[in-house]
Chains A and B, each alone.
Chain A
Amino acid sequence: MKLRANKILNLTFFIIIITVVLFSQQISAGEQLGAEEIINRRDDNEYIITAYSEAQMIIKSGGRTQVKEMRAWQDQSNSLAEFTNPRDRGTKFLKRDDDIWMFFPEAEDLVKISGHMLEQGMMGSDFSYQDILESDKLTDLYDFELLGEVEYQGRPAYKLEGVKVPGKEVSYYRRIVWIDKERFVGLREELYAESGRLLKEAEVLEVEEIDGRWYPVHTVMENKLRENTSTEFVVKEIDFNIEIDDSMFTLERLR
């Protein structure tokens, strides 16, 4: 009997030891997440297979504020956005792989955006068309390094720095990102030119848990080369993993 009690005690002790060891291992594993892994986890979190969303774009420029509303359908590589506010009603954008087309309802004209136009802000916002087009995996384009763990807006966060992989075609030479340590959602991002000049700054003002994942629903983007401009992007509604017809992302649909 005594032997048995001893055995149980031993087993309990063993389990405790195991648990502690395992747990501590898990903790250290969490702490030692590689920079790439953090980025990939954020990207997985924000990655969209298919989605339908309704959003608002608040563009502030030189003391003027414009509000644009839009709805959008997207899958992994394509998206279609249609503006619904009275002024721009019917204006549509279609992104198909590496191309963007724009449709103006008044002129009934279809324009492919290319060359210099790609660097312009979309609908006068601080998001350039080029920003929208860059959809390659970030960890393929940048070498990320964990700069440390910081607290950002009351949230524990990883601060990482990505420097362009030599030879890769990418707009921003260096980017610094803050990623929520627990929710793996981006909180802030700074985009730099090769000269070290800060070009753009994005800040996530609000995240929401939607369908079991944390998703940024209110972001503000600033073009740091221009004074007094900012663009807020507010996601009003988003449904993930909806069914989208193949014909959605065609030029015919754009007209």
Chain B
Amino acid sequence: MFLFRMALKNLNRHRRRTFITALIIAFAILIYILTEGLMLGMTEMSFSNIINLESGHLQVANQNYWDERKELPLKNLIEPSEEIERKIEALSGLQAYTKRLNFSVNLNNGIDELPVKGVGINPEQDGAVFELQKHLVEGRMPQAESSEIIMGAKLAELMDFELGDYAVMLIRTPDKTFNTIDGEIVGLFNTPHPSLNENNVFIPLTTAQSRLDIDNQITNYVLRMESQDSGLTAAEELDRNLEAPLAAYSWKDTAESLVTMIEMQTIETQVILAIILTLAAVGIINTIILAALERMEELGMMKALGLHEREIVYIFMGEAAGIGFIGGVMGIILGVVGLFIFNYYGLDISAFTGGGDVTYGFPISGTVYAGWELSSFIFVFVYGMVVSILASFFPAFWAARKDPVKAIYHR
């Protein structure tokens, strides 16, 4: 307790110096909190975009299809059956499900051709699982059984299409035979999921099935659950109940590359934190050395009065811990204020990607809002304290080892 009071008094002796050193730590913590907040915000937004617009909470597909799904093959499709649907309906936490068919399309406007992804949707059920309708900027959703289509406003602009135009969709049946669909554009959407806006065309499922000569086959079932977590547990449960080659895939399986990317980003944020705190550590070392030099006579006196070297080290470490604590508290207050501002105004992504559509691989666009996570606050606070204490160890040890006689006659 005596040592602790000593450390506290020492902290109080040079308030300005303490404050400035603590400020460095506070600054490091602020940067970490903001970066982490941005990362969390982007992650949350990415996942919700993927869930709400691309994959739902979980999907049922043929395992062999799943591995090649990016190629949009018309092999290993699912024959919808009551048995599968019974198993889906038995899941707890299920809100809705729908059938979808993904296929490859060459979109033609009479001048140019563009390869895009065609998605057959069931207009009656799709809205209960996906949020596409919410993002319509013009027109309406296609009607069942019709050849009406909707596409991203961006894609339409690129291909010079307008609402009411007919787009020729050149497709190939499983026999590789060409077929065409003259799709009437009845709606344009602009979602926060960039790839959806750029290369997806939606058409009623039955129309797609009949033109592709695949009877009533689909590529996947998509399910909406109560929450993201129930999607994960339900995927496991359903996967056990389904017979091979059918399998259930959660939203995390869909966003596999995104998950990897986020892991990489987390490491990146840690590295940034480590670098900034190392700089802060240099500040602390400097402060401790200064304090030690200043109080050399005092140290000599204390040692002469019987204080152990260990105890002197404790005093300095306590002082550093104090700086770390003050810095941590300031950093967290600054971070909370920063995050609040960030969350209130949001951050327009296009502003820091130069107005372009570059999103560094994240399936997001528009305005990002910061995410919050208590654990990251605790982590960064503790980390800041630990770095401060460790940084003080060597200068404190150096000061404590001084011969008391020489220390007293320091000058």
Residue positions of A touching B, CB distance < 8 A = 62, 115-116, 119, 164, 167-173, 193-195, 197, 199, 225-227
Contacts and interface: CB of A to CB of B under 8 A. Distances in A.
Given A62-B111, A225-B110, A226-B113, A171 B177 contact: yes
Given A226-B113, A227-B111, A119 B175 contact: no
B170 A172 contact: no
A76 B115 CA distance: 32
Contacts of A164: 175, 177
Contact of B177 (A115, A194, A226): A194
Contact of A195 (B111, B112, B175, B181): B181
B112 A226 contact: yes
B181 A172 contact: no
Given A225-B168, A226-B111, A172 B179 contact: no
Contacts of A227: 110-111
A119 B106 contact: yes
B257 to A, nearest CB: 20
Given A115-B71, A116-B104, A193-B170, A225 B176 contact: no
B180 A193 contact: yes
Contact of A194 (B104, B113, B178, B182): B178
Contacts of B179: 173, 193-195
B63 interface: no
Contacts of A225: 108, 110, 113, 168, 170, 180
B131 interface: no
A171 B111 contact: no
Contact of B180 (A62, A119, A171, A195): A195
A195 to B, nearest CB: 5
Given A116-B104, A195-B181, A226-B113, 20 more contacts: A62-B111, A116-B115, A167-B175, A168-B175, A169-B176, A169-B177, A170-B175, A170-B177, A171-B178, A172-B177, A193-B170, A193-B177, A193-B178, A194-B211, A194-B213, A195-B179, A197-B180, A225-B108, A226-B108, A226-B112
Nearest to B115: A116
A175 to B, nearest CB: 11
A170 B172 CA distance: 10
Nearest to A228: B111
Contacts of B177: 164, 169-173, 193-194
The B interface, classified by DSSP as helix, strand, loop or mixed, is strand
B178 A173 contact: yes
A172 B179 CA distance: 8
Give the one of B168, B175, B211 with max A CB within 10 A.
B175
Contacts of B211: 194-195
Nearest to B109: A226
Contacts of B181: 195
A63 to B, nearest CB: 11
18 contacts: A62-B111, A115-B71, A116-B104, A119-B106, A168-B175, A169-B175, A171-B176, A173-B178, A193-B179, A193-B180, A195-B179, A195-B180, A195-B181, A197-B182, A199-B178, A199-B180, A226-B110, A226-B111
A239 B290 CA distance: 94
Interface hub of A119, A172, A225 (most chain B Cβ within 10 A): A225
A115 B112 CA distance: 19
A165 to B, nearest CB: 10
Contacts of A115: 71
B112, B113, B172, B180 — which one has the most chain A CB atoms within 10 A of its CB?
B180
Contacts of B111: 62, 226-227
B199 interface: no
Contacts of A195: 179-182, 211
B173 interface: yes
B201 to A, nearest CB: 15
A161 B211 CA distance: 22
Nearest to B108: A225
Interface in B166-223: 168, 170, 172-173, 175-182, 211, 213
> A193, A226, A227: which has the most chain B beta carbons within 10 Å?
A193
Contacts of A226: 108, 110-113
A120 to B, nearest CB: 8
Interface in B58-85: 71
Interface string B148-179: 00000000000000000000101011011111
Nearest to A227: B110
A169 B75 CA distance: 14
Interface string B109-138: 011110100000000000000000000000
The 7 closest A-B pairs by CB, nearest first: A194-B179, A193-B178, A197-B180, A193-B180, A195-B180, A169-B176, A225-B108
B176 A170 contact: yes
A62 B113 CA distance: 13
Contacts of B182: 195, 197
A227 B160 CA distance: 14
Contacts of B71: 115
A171 B111 CA distance: 21
A62 B211 CA distance: 30
A115 B213 CA distance: 20
A173 B173 CA distance: 10
Nearest to B213: A194
A114 to B, nearest CB: 10
Contacts of A194: 173, 177-180, 211, 213
A158 B113 CA distance: 34
Contacts of A167: 175
A5 B254 CA distance: 99
A61 to B, nearest CB: 9
Contacts of B108: 225-226
